[in-house]
Amino acid sequence: MTDGTAKLVTTDGGLALSDGKNSVRGDFARLLPRIRRGNLSRELLVRAVKIKGIGEPLVADATAGLGEDSFLLAAAGCRVLLFEHDPVIADLLSDAIERAKRDPETAEIAARMTLIRGDSVPALPLLDPRPDVV
């Protein structure tokens, strides 16, 4: 698999997209230092969402990607809807969320994350309840 064609592969670390030389996968465990020891309150994204003063805001991440921003927001107490339209990226994200739910350090955070496969543009106006932040 070194012809430059990327494929989804199962590794010890979870589902990955690999071309045989390089690979990418969702990995929330590597974000743990950013949420420890007061670091989370210094994250600009978290500060921007929390400025509204809503205790546990419902946030829609319209372009979730591998979910790193969503993980930080969920760690800050937000409930997060993660929209991802690319099926391969959505598979990677789904795997990362499921692994996080099984890890005692990240399970509570991952429980506040809900993946929605598809384009956020037509879906956002139909959400009930409506998100506090998009």
Q: Cα–Cα distances in Å, from 26 out to 36, 93, 115, 133?
A: 19, 6, 13, 23
**What are the structural domain ranges in the chain?**
26-126
Global pTM reads 0.92
Q: Does domain 26-126 have CATH number 3.40.50.150?
A: yes
The tens place of each residue's pLDDT in the chain, 134 residues long, gives: 456 699 999 988 899 999 999 999 999 999 999 999 789 999 999 999 988 788 899 999 999 999 999 999 999 999 999 999 999 999 999 999 999 999 999 999 999 999 999 999 999 999 999 999 99
Q: Yes or no: say if 46 and 55 are a contact pair by the CB < 8 Å rule.
A: no
Q: What is the DSSP letter of 130?
A: P
